[in-house]
Amino acid sequence: MVQNLEKDWEQLIENLIKEGVLRSPRVIKAMRKVPRTKFLPENMRSYSAVDTPLPIGFGQTVSAPHSPGLQAGLGETWLQ
């Protein structure tokens, strides 16, 4: 599958705006300007725009961009 990571990232931003997570113009601008892709280990890059934490080695994760759509079952709880 050929992925268009830039298009996927933009789609994610639009979803976060629609859900009301992203509100301020400068936060939105920064999310557009700094996609998560460049900060992932190579084998994780294709998951960049998937709204979930991802492993970065050393037992640690990089945060999810974040959609409250993920709050499943825990009331107001978000995954990182």
Q: Is 40 in the site for other proteins (CB under 8 A)?
A: yes
CB of 2 or CB of 58, closer to other proteins: 58
Decide if 51 contacts 42 (C-beta within 8 A): no
Distances (CA, A) of 63 to 1, 39, 40: 25, 11, 11
Q: Which of 1, 2, 24, 43 binds other proteins (CB under 8 A)?
A: 24
- Alpha-helical (H) ranges within 1-80 are 5-18, 25-33
For the question of residue 67 being annotated catalytic, the response is no
Positions marked active-site: 63
Residues that bind other proteins (CB under 8 A): 16, 21-24, 26-27, 29-31, 33-34, 36, 38-40, 53, 56-66, 74-80
